[in-house]
Amino acid sequence: MAVCLNRLFSLSARSMSTVGFVGLGNMGGYMAKNLVKAGKDVVVYDVNDASVQDLKSSGAGACSTPSELAGRSDVIVTMVPSSPHVQEVFTGSEGLLKSLKPGTLCIDSSTIDPAVSKDIDSAVRAAGGHFYDAPVSGGVVAAEKGILTFMVGGDADKFDQVKSYLDHMGANVIHCGANGNGLVVKLCNNMMLAISMIGAAETLNMGVRMGMEKKLLSDILGKSTARCWSIDTYNPVPGVMEGVPASRDYEGGFGATLMLKDLGLAELMADGSDSPIVLGKMAKNIYDELCQDEKFAPKDFGVIFKKLNEQ
């Protein structure tokens, strides 16, 4: 009897709560699919219709505008490229705010300017909703496996509710404090990541040119004090690891232009807080130059290895 009641309760709870997902790209596509796999009722929107159709064939419902999606959702996750896209999705003429239901939980996982996130927070509160910044780390492989790290900023009182949804897409969901703090942590992470990727690419290129076999070199560095994610998990040298962007000519993954955007946001934070970031600014210049070449700009950020290797 108790089992039946529990099941009835969970079925009705499931039918009561619909999750809207906006932005079905390299990351959002997998994240939304993991919500569907978890049994959530999911509706989606993306400007790219092919991505919407892909999610539809995985069991999600399709919406033709963010506004329609807001009218059908109790929880909304957004995962679009940058600040202007998030502004458009929320405040555009057919944006989420046009028909947001009071009490809706809005969770933005895009990496954007913390100041813009605070503006959106105010607008969502004014519309009767709750807003959290929840950028992610882990890359597309972690997105696919549902083991992302979420860095969450926003009111503590609804954090457990937010976490109950993010748990289906991540292995670590961490409350960082007030709105905007998740983004501060994320931008610190990505500045360090850019520096370490450039360091890994320069080092591996030099070692190989000195005659070391690329897999053996990577394996030893991955067990030594140079060990980092860019060497032991996301190695940028083609043929060292399977399943990473370097193994498929740097397709998919984390775009070099997205990394350049994050370095620009980190620079804004550094300038605003009088923090010296000599290496951070050098990394930004290096990715700026890389992205001026149309051969490299659309590729994963590990393509910095290819550029160095061709020099």
- Cβ 18 to ligand NAD, closest distance in Å? 18
Q: Which residue is nearest to ligand NAD (CB)?
A: 25
Please tell me which residue in 33, 40, 186, 261 is annotated as part of the active site: 186
Residue closer to ligand NAD by CB (options 27, 43) is 27
- Cβ 283 to ligand NAD, closest distance in Å? 15
Among the listed residues 19, 123, 140, 283, the single contact to ligand NAD using CB under 6 A: 140
Inter-residue long-range contacts of 124-127, CB under 8 Å, 24+ positions, other chains counted: 124/90, 124/97, 124/100, 127/97, 127/100, 127/102
- Cβ 220 to ligand NAD, closest distance in Å? 26
- Cβ 305 to ligand NAD, closest distance in Å? 17
Residue closer to ligand NAD by CB (options 24, 162) is 24
How far apart, in whole angstroms, are the C-alpha atoms of residue 28 and residue 1? 39
Residues 167-226 close enough to bind ligand NAD by CB under 6 A: none
Residues 245-304 close enough to bind ligand NAD by CB under 6 A: 253-254, 258
Among the listed residues 19, 21, 23, 217, the single contact to ligand NAD using CB under 6 A: 23
- Cβ 140 to ligand NAD, closest distance in Å? 5
Three-state SS string over 77-134 comes to EECCCCHHHHHHHHHCCCCHHHHCCCCCEEEECCCCCHHHHHHHHHHHHHCCCEEEEC
How far apart, in whole angstroms, are the C-alpha atoms of residue 7 and residue 11? 6
Among the listed residues 26, 67, 73, 104, the single contact to ligand NAD using CB under 6 A: 26
* Listed ranges 1-9, 47-55, 116-124, 263-271: which one lies at the site for ligand NAD (CB under 6 A): 47-55
Q: Is 73 in the site for ligand NAD (CB under 6 A)?
A: no
Q: Give the distance, in angstroms, between the CA of residue 173 and the centroid of all CA atoms in the same chain.
A: 13
Among the listed residues 114, 139, 146, 154, the single contact to ligand NAD using CB under 6 A: 139
- Cβ 258 to ligand NAD, closest distance in Å? 4
What phi, psi does 296 have (nearest 5°)? -100, -30
Residue type at 23 in one-letter notation = G
CB atoms within 10 A of CB 156: 9
Q: Is 114 in the site for ligand NAD (CB under 6 A)?
A: no
How far apart, in whole angstroms, are the C-alpha atoms of residue 235 and residue 268? 29
Q: What are the structure tokens assigned to 71, written together? A: 């009218």
For the chain, the straight-line distance linking the first and the last C-alpha, in angstroms and rounded, comes to: 71
- CA-CA-CA-CA torsion for 276, 189, 88, 131, nearest 10 degrees? -110
33 is catalytic: no
Residues 75-94 close enough to bind ligand NAD by CB under 6 A: 79-82, 85, 88-89
Q: How many residues bind ligand NAD (CB under 6 A)?
A: 27
What phi, psi does 151 have (nearest 5°)? -110, 110
CB 124 within 8 A of CB 131: yes
How far apart, in whole angstroms, are the C-alpha atoms of residue 50 and residue 46? 9
- Cβ 46 to ligand NAD, closest distance in Å? 4
Three-class DSSP category at 268: helix
Q: What are the structure tokens assigned to 124, written together? A: 């969502």
* Listed ranges 16-24, 197-205, 236-244, 275-283: which one lies at the site for ligand NAD (CB under 6 A): 16-24
Q: Is 110 in the site for ligand NAD (CB under 6 A)?
A: yes
Q: How many helices (H) and strands (E) does the chain have?
A: 14, 9
Residues of the shown chain interacting with ligand NAD in the complex, contacts defined by CB under 6 A: 22-28, 45-48, 51, 79-82, 85, 88-89, 110-111, 136, 139-140, 253-254, 258
Give the residue numbers annotated as catalytic, written as ranges: 186
